[in-house]
């Protein structure tokens, strides 16, 4: 998970990822998703700073002046500040503020990201690394994953897939982004992201493996072996549409926290 989504705990060891690939994926796969409307707005709403310690600003409209404004959130105390998005509008914006004690500011909202190439490529990248992280402690599995032919189609898609081809991703919200959890010690916290690998058996000898990833309460599920979700829909039907991340348990009672922050 990129650090710009609040991850400082789950980082693959250097021997499990090469620098050229890591830099390429950060630039070509992670950045487009982080810079998308959903990526910026969700990080702003959750007050998650990037590597440079800045929370990405969002652009809104000041109704009284009719000017576009940039709204910034302080990482230290979450205080808001704003200014005209364009320098030549600054004086008109300030004059409008000074002329009235009340005003209206319209800010954009994005509930879930679109199911498009940018999202699918990003989730595919995270899914492959989730699979890798889950096997770190298993001797020989680094080479096993590298040589696994069944993963080549997704690897090619993440690296060079055409923008017209969208690898299917099941996307849904499973809890509000600001949901407050409590752990076994009754310490309140919010979950930034969590994940697991879900095995859906097709027979006694084979099955499908899905990466199930939640970011700010939105669950993304992707088949690591091919661009189809039939097996996951079958799993959902047989498990009352519950989340694989929270099987048979209420969210507020869960203590499973791969990456959380205290309140």
- The answer for residues whose C-beta is within 8 angstroms of residue 53's C-beta and 6 or more apart is 75
**Token match 């609040």: residue?**
6
Band of residue 186 on the pLDDT scale cut at 50, 70, 90: confident
User: Is the confidence at residue 245, as pLDDT, over 70?
Assistant: yes
Band of residue 171 on the pLDDT scale cut at 50, 70, 90: very high
Name the percent of the chain lying above pLDDT 90: 56
Domain extents in the chain: 42-106, 113-262
Q: What is the pLDDT of residues 51-98, one digit of tens each?
A: 888 898 999 999 999 999 999 988 888 888 989 999 999 999 999 999
What's the pLDDT at 260?
Answer: 62
Q: What is the pLDDT of residues 126-149, one digit of tens each?
A: 999 999 888 888 888 888 888 999
């Amino acid at each position: 998970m990129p650090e710009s989504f609040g991850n400082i705990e789950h980082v693959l060891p250097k021997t499990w990822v090469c620098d050229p690939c890591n830099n390429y994926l950060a630039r070509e796969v992670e950045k487009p998703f982080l810079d998308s409307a959903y990526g910026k707005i969700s990080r702003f709403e959750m007050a998650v700073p990037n590597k440079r310690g800045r929370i990405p600003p969002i652009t809104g409209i000041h109704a009284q002046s009719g000017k576009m404004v940039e709204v910034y959130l302080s990482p230290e105390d979450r205080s808001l500040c704003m200014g005209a998005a364009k320098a030549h509008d600054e004086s008109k914006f300030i004059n409008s503020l000074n002329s009235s004690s009340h005003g209206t500011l319209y800010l954009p909202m994005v509930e879930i990201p679109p199911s498009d190439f940018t999202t699918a490529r990003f989730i595919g990248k995270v899914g492959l690394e989730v699979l890798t992280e889950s096997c770190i402690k298993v001797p020989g599995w680094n080479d096993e994953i590298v040589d696994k032919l069944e993963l080549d189609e997704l690897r090619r898609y993440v690296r060079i897939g055409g923008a017209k081809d969208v690898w299917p991703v099941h996307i849904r919200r499973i809890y509000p982004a600001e949901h407050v959890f409590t752990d076994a010690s009754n310490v309140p916290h919010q979950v930034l992201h969590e994940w697991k690998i879900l095995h859906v058996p097709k027979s006694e000898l084979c099955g499908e493996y899905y990466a199930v990833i939640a970011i700010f309460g939105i669950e993304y599920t992707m088949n690591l072996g091919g661009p189809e979700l039939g097996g996951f829909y079958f799993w959902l039907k047989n498990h009352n549409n519950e989340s694989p991340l929270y099987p048979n348990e209420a969210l507020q009672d869960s203590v499973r926290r791969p990456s959380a922050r205290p309140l």
